Chains A and B, each alone.
Chain A
Amino acid sequence: MTADIRDHTASQHLADGPPGDAGTVLDVRDLTVSYVGPDGGTVACRDVTFQLGRGEVLGIAGESGSGKSTLITALTRLQRPPATTTAGSIVFHPSDGRPGIDLVPLGSRELRRLRWTSMSIVLQSAMDALNPVMRLGDQFADVLRTHHRGMDRAAAKVRTVELLGMVGISADRARSFPHEMSGGMRQRATIALALACSPQLVVMDEPTTAVDVVMQRQIMAQVLRLRRELGFAVIIVTHDLSLLLEVADRIAIMYAGRIVEIGSAEALYRTPAHPYTRGLRDSFPPLHAPLTTLHGIPGTPPDLRRLPTGCPFHPRCPVAVEACSSTKPPLVHLPDQAAECLLLTPEATS
Chain B
Amino acid sequence: MLPSLWSNPKVRFGLVVVGFFTALAVLGPWLTESVLGVDPRANDISAIASPPSAEHWLGTTQFGQDVLAQLVAGARGSMFVGVLAALIGTALAIAFGVTAGYFGGTVDHILNFVTNLFMVMPVLPLIFIVSGYLRGTGLWVIAVIIGVFGWAGGARTLRAQTLSVRNRDFVLGMRMLGESHGRLVAVEVLPHLVGWIASMFLGALIGGILAEAGLAFLGISDSGSISWGSMIQAAQSQSAVLRGIWWWFVPPGLCIALIGTAAAMINFGVDELANPKLRAGTRRVIRRTRRAERAVAAEGGAA
Contact = CB atoms under 8 A, between A and B. Distances in A.
Judged by CB atoms under 8 Å, the answer to whether A and B touch is yes
Interface of A: 34, 36-38, 41, 80-87, 105
27 contacts: A34-B292, A36-B285, A36-B288, A36-B289, A36-B292, A37-B288, A38-B284, A38-B288, A41-B292, A80-B280, A81-B280, A81-B286, A81-B288, A81-B289, A82-B280, A82-B285, A82-B288, A83-B289, A84-B289, A84-B292, A84-B293, A85-B296, A86-B292, A86-B296, A87-B296, A105-B297, A105-B300
B11 to A, nearest CB: 16
Nearest to A37: B288
Nearest to A86: B296
A173 B115 CA distance: 39
B280 A84 contact: no
Most B-side CB within 10 Å, residue of A41, A85, A86, A87 = A86
A37 B292 CA distance: 10
Interface string B115-148: 0000000000000000000000000000000000
A83 B290 CA distance: 10
Interface string B261-272: 000000000000
Contacts of A34: 292
Interface of B: 280, 284-286, 288-293, 296-297, 300
Contact of A84 (B284, B296, B300): B296
A81 B296 contact: no
Contacts, number: 32
Contacts of B297: 105
A86 B288 CA distance: 13
A337 to B, nearest CB: 32
Nearest to B289: A81
Contacts of B289: 36, 81-84
Nearest to A80: B280
A174 B15 CA distance: 53
Contacts of B285: 36, 81-82
Contacts of A85: 296
Contacts of B290: 81
Contacts of A37: 288
Given A81-B285, A105-B300, 13 more contacts: A36-B288, A36-B292, A38-B284, A38-B288, A80-B280, A81-B280, A82-B280, A82-B288, A82-B289, A83-B289, A86-B292, A87-B296, A105-B297
Nearest to B7: A38
B140 to A, nearest CB: 47
Task: Give 4 nearest A-B pairs by CB, closest first.
Answer: A81-B289, A36-B292, A36-B288, A36-B289
A331 B298 CA distance: 30
Nearest to A34: B292
B298 to A, nearest CB: 12
A21 B284 CA distance: 48
Nearest to B279: A82
B296 to A, nearest CB: 5
Contacts of A81: 280, 285-286, 288-290
A82 B290 CA distance: 9
A284 B108 CA distance: 44
B303 to A, nearest CB: 10
A83 B296 CA distance: 13
Contacts of A36: 285, 288-289, 291-292
A248 to B, nearest CB: 32
A81 B292 CA distance: 10
Contacts of A84: 289, 292-293, 296
Most A-side CB within 10 Å, residue of B290, B293, B296, B300 = B296
A81 B280 CA distance: 7
Contacts of A83: 289
A105 B280 CA distance: 23
A85 B294 CA distance: 11
Contacts of B280: 80-82
A157 to B, nearest CB: 35
Contacts of B292: 34, 36, 41, 84, 86
A41 B292 CA distance: 9
A259 B288 CA distance: 28
Contacts of B284: 38
Nearest to B293: A84
A105 B298 CA distance: 11
A226 B5 CA distance: 52
Contacts of A87: 296
Most B-side CB within 10 Å, residue of A34, A80, A81, A82 = A81
Most B-side CB within 10 Å, residue of A37, A80, A82 = A82
A95 to B, nearest CB: 28
Nearest to A104: B300
B225 to A, nearest CB: 47
A82 B292 CA distance: 9
Most B-side CB within 10 Å, residue of A36, A38, A83 = A36
Nearest to A35: B289
Contacts of B286: 81
A105 B292 CA distance: 14
A87 B286 CA distance: 19
Contacts of B296: 84-87
B284 to A, nearest CB: 8
B117 to A, nearest CB: 29
Nearest to B282: A81
B270 to A, nearest CB: 19
A81 B287 CA distance: 9
Contacts of A86: 292, 296
A43 to B, nearest CB: 12
A331 B288 CA distance: 33
A81 to B, nearest CB: 4
Nearest to A81: B289
Contacts of A82: 280, 285, 288-289
Contacts of B300: 105
Contacts of A105: 297, 300
